Amino acid sequence: MKAWRFYGFGDFRLDEVPVPAVLPRHVLVHPLCVQPSVTEAQLAFGIPTLAYERVRRRLETSAPIQLFGHEFCARICEVGPGVSHFKVGDRVAARAKLPCENCPLCLSERSHLCRKGPVIGFDQPGCFSEVALLPEISLVKVDDRISDSEAACLQSLSDSVAAVETADIGMGDTVVILGQGSMGLECLQIARISGAGRIITVDVRDESCQVSRQLGADHALNARTCDVVSSIRALTGGNGADVVFECAGGSPRQGMAGSQTLLQAMDAVRSGGKIIGVAWYGGPLELDIDIFRERSLRYLFPDISTQAHLEHTVRLVATGRVSLKGTITHVLHGLESVDQAFEITANKGKYNAINPAQVMMRQPAAV
Ligand SMILES: [Zn+2]
């Protein structure tokens, strides 16, 4: 079969490799639609972010390796021994970070706190290939009302569901969301159906602000044309927001905000309010922690998404409570266009992309 393999940062090639053998409690799938996550797209080009060191070490010791591909929709073509919830022909999506199933946390029903399990696409190959081997515990069945293209966004959406749950929004709270990329727009829609009163979103791109308004933002501020903090303060009677989601920080090389938006979040949140850290910065930051102490600010980080979160995302999209269609801007065709999807996703601002660029696979018979 054909699969993308990484030889080093910025060097990935479509190679011929053996089809994996099915394992107990695993399935083989034909990917139908797959997209690089923003993190994967940055790592592919060697830009420091989450898991950079881990990927660098693997490339140095084991290249060429199949990497990435945890955001997908796929159809099961073979089930291994012990698989009980899925059958051949089922359409599935997955969560990426899995519990180890062996540690004291996992054995005491706290597996959502486990960090010892594998991550799909990082510790084992994801779906940038004609066939992929996936553990049953990562999967969820995709409802017939959800398209292949929408289903490829479910993994990211389940992380956003976990982020909004972590925020524990009070009924009627004013919520600010800095950054209207795919996760910012997902947090917007989920916050809206989870008790948020007024929602103020911020981005530097007009197309993102426009989609944000369509998806329910009460105010979509363009940070290039207004002072974000004073605008938010004016809209909240001088108090600041109850909850601020920071979904904009990251590498300025890719058009993201560095750590500037975290400083804005600290200024835009009310005393005793919550900042939810969704963004990754790719390295240490200098922060005036005394401000958190003085103003009783809570800086919280999302739990990893669980099977329950993933199943909830399926219901949210199937029933139209969360809409993904307006965010999917770039759809490519055929496994050979994966490198182009990485390029677009790593530079979304340059290509006017909102969701990562998707790759629709050809059906196996046509390969
Ligand atoms: Zn564990």
Residues 128 and 170 in one domain: no
φ, ψ dihedrals at 256, nearest 5°: -95, 175
User: What does the pLDDT read at residue 366?
Assistant: 43
**Please, which pLDDT band fits residue 254 given cuts at 50, 70 and 90?**
low
If you measure from the C-alpha of residue 109 to the centroid of ligand 1, how many angstroms do you get, rounded to a whole number? 10
If you measure from the C-alpha of residue 320 to the centroid of ligand 1, how many angstroms do you get, rounded to a whole number? 34
Is the pLDDT reported for residue 365 higher than 60?
A: no
For 107-165, the pLDDT digits (tens) are: 998 988 999 999 999 999 999 999 999 999 999 999 999 999 999 999 999 999 999 99
Residues 105 and 245 in one domain: no
If you measure from the C-alpha of residue 106 to the centroid of ligand 1, how many angstroms do you get, rounded to a whole number? 4
If you measure from the C-alpha of residue 82 to the centroid of ligand 1, how many angstroms do you get, rounded to a whole number? 20
Q: What is the dihedral of CA 200, 234, 246, 202, to 10 degrees?
A: 50
284 in a structural domain: yes
Mean of per-residue pLDDT scores for the chain: 95
Angle between helix 182-192 and helix 154-167 axes, rounded to 10 deg: 50
313 in a structural domain: no
If you measure from the C-alpha of residue 305 to the centroid of ligand 1, how many angstroms do you get, rounded to a whole number? 14
Is the pLDDT reported for residue 40 higher than 50?
A: yes
Q: Which amino acid is at 208?
A: S
289 in a structural domain: yes
Residues 164 and 149 in one domain: no
332 in a structural domain: yes
188 in a structural domain: yes
If you measure from the C-alpha of residue 223 to the centroid of ligand 1, how many angstroms do you get, rounded to a whole number? 42
For 190-213, the pLDDT digits (tens) are: 999 999 999 999 999 999 999 999
For 14-27, the pLDDT digits (tens) are: 999 999 999 999 99
How many separate domains does the chain show? 2
If you measure from the C-alpha of residue 10 to the centroid of ligand 1, how many angstroms do you get, rounded to a whole number? 33
319 in a structural domain: no
If you measure from the C-alpha of residue 101 to the centroid of ligand 1, how many angstroms do you get, rounded to a whole number? 5
**Can you read off the two tokens belonging to residue 38?**
């923003």
If you measure from the C-alpha of residue 118 to the centroid of ligand 1, how many angstroms do you get, rounded to a whole number? 10
Residues 148 and 17 in one domain: yes
User: What CATH number is given to the structural domain containing 131?
Assistant: 3.90.180.10
309 in a structural domain: no
213 in a structural domain: yes
- Select from 300, 317, 349 the last residue of a domain: 300
The C-alpha atoms of residue 282 and residue 49 are separated, in whole angstroms, by 4
If you measure from the C-alpha of residue 306 to the centroid of ligand 1, how many angstroms do you get, rounded to a whole number? 13
Cβ atoms of 179 and 261 closer than 8 Å: yes
- Select from 282, 300, 318 the last residue of a domain: 300
For 327-344, the pLDDT digits (tens) are: 999 999 999 999 999 999
User: What does the pLDDT read at residue 283?
Assistant: 83
Residues 195 and 256 in one domain: yes
Residues 258 and 293 in one domain: yes
> Each residue of 112-122: b (16+ CB within 10 Å) or e?
bebeebebbbb
User: What does the pLDDT read at residue 349?
Assistant: 85
If you measure from the C-alpha of residue 119 to the centroid of ligand 1, how many angstroms do you get, rounded to a whole number? 12
**Can you read off the two tokens belonging to residue 2?**
């054909």
If you measure from the C-alpha of residue 112 to the centroid of ligand 1, how many angstroms do you get, rounded to a whole number? 8
Residues 168 and 274 in one domain: yes
Residues 195 and 275 in one domain: yes
The C-alpha atoms of residue 278 and residue 96 are separated, in whole angstroms, by 16
Tell me which residue range forms the domain holding 34. Answer: 2-153+328-366
Residues 288 and 333 in one domain: no
